[in-house]
Amino acid sequence: MKDGWQLWEVFVRANRGLSHVHVGSLHASDAASALQNAESLYARRGEGVSIWVVESHLIHAAAPYEDNSVEAGGKAYRHPTFYEIPDEVGHM
Amino acid sequence: MTPEEQFDDLMVRDQRVEARDWMPEAYRKTLIRQIAQHAHSEIIGMQPEGQWITRAPSLRRKAILIAKVQDEAGHGLYLYSAAETLGIPRDEMMRLLHEGRQKYSSIFNYPTLNWADVGTIGWLVDGAAITNQVMLTRGSYGPYARAMIRICKEESFHQRQGYESLVTLVQGSDEQKAMAQDALERWWWPSLMMFGPPDAESTHSAQSAAWNIKRESNDTLRQKFIDATVPQADYLGLRIPDPDLSWNEESGHYDIGPIDWDEFWRVVKGDGPCNAERIAHKTSVWDEGEWVREAADAYAMKQEIRAEVTI
């Protein structure tokens, strides 16, 4: 048995067809109680149709970038608006 | 409700199916076939354009082309992940592709003979793909539909860079304009074939429609693409290689001449200009990459052992 309760990250799918989104974290002693707590804490008003919980220590994170974009700027040509398309040819 | 009734209910209410839901085996198989084929198309699709990266006419065009080919690799990876949620491992899909037991879009079995082909692929091939993919964003399988939303956002850049490249080319010398015309003549019909056989002969369509996997028929999507594309060719001053092409006042659509479906089936069955070359290249790259996969595994194992020692 582990000492104390683990920290868990909670992900909720608001509706079918949408991705699970991180909503917060909680403490729990095992996965079953983490799921139960997650429902009580983060989805008690029917905020979701599906819940995932992941032990926080299992999440590996990239170092944050100062400009908040992982693949930094300077490559405007990756975006559709970089290209001039004549109005006459319609939406593209 | 039984799981089966639940699934049927989702279909009736036009809801999304998610990875852990019960689903009929045939639904699962159909999606695996379709998503794997789609993923393979993105990966094999890197070859015809990738061949022009070293020969792009300017640094600007080269940077754009690298970004586009990189996107295609990314699209393949989104799709392999979506297929994996259905229970097929990625290595298995690779093996089936290499053995020719899973297919990819036949369009990538045509060669890229001149620089105009790169712009034309962006304009026509990506244009046709977008027409199909916009429909797929509303498909019933959640992980696939979500991958398609991501892909569609990125595809817009692909089509626009292609068209812009052609606008530039047709403003150039007579030879450059002739290159663009030549590319259109070679890519037009294969692009129309990308939507698959006519509705009357399409074997998978009825069941896929019932499962909300395919929401518009091959012929409907093809027509949509033709109607959008003909004015774009006119603007470029290029001639579409179809003497029967004409505007139909009554239907409000363009009519086209007959599509050579014998050619389509020949290429599907392996006898296109580049089928053998594409798979040979893919398998050789896979084999040559074996040491990289082994090295990554060895490194991961070493890290694990070190972590244990520290504890």
CA nearest to B84, candidates B72, B93, B75 = B93
Cα separation, B42 vs B44, whole angstroms: 6
User: Which B positions 246-305 lie with beta carbon below 8 A of chain A?
Assistant: none
Tell me how far CA of residue A81 lies from CA of A92, B71, B75, B153, B189, in angstroms. 11, 16, 20, 12, 29
Search chain B and give the residue with CA nearest A74: B63
Q: Per residue of chain A (92 residues), what is the pLDDT tens digit?
A: 456 789 999 999 999 999 999 999 999 999 999 999 999 999 999 899 999 999 999 999 887 666 656 555 678 999 999 999 998 888 88
Is the ipTM beyond the 0.85 threshold? no
Inter-chain CB proximity B127 and A92 less than 8 Å: yes
Residue B203 in 3-state DSSP? Answer: coil
A21 contacts on B by Cβ (under 8 Å) = none
Please report the pLDDT score of residue A1 as a whole number. 47
Please report the pLDDT score of residue A63 as a whole number. 76
Q: Are B82 and B88 in contact (CB under 8 A)?
A: no
A83 contacts on B by Cβ (under 8 Å) = 157, 160-161, 163-164
Please report the pLDDT score of residue A67 as a whole number. 60
Cα separation, B93 vs B223, whole angstroms: 32
- Rounded to 10 degrees, what is the CA torsion of A74, A80, A83, A88? -160
Dihedral sign for Cα atoms in the order B224, B226, B227, B228: positive
Q: Are B69 and B53 in contact (CB under 8 A)?
A: yes
Q: What length does chain A have?
A: 92
In angstroms, what is the C-alpha Rg of chain A? 21
Q: Which residues of chain B have pLDDT under 50?
A: none
Please report the pLDDT score of residue B95 as a whole number. 96
Q: What length does chain B have?
A: 311
Please report the pLDDT score of residue B74 as a whole number. 95
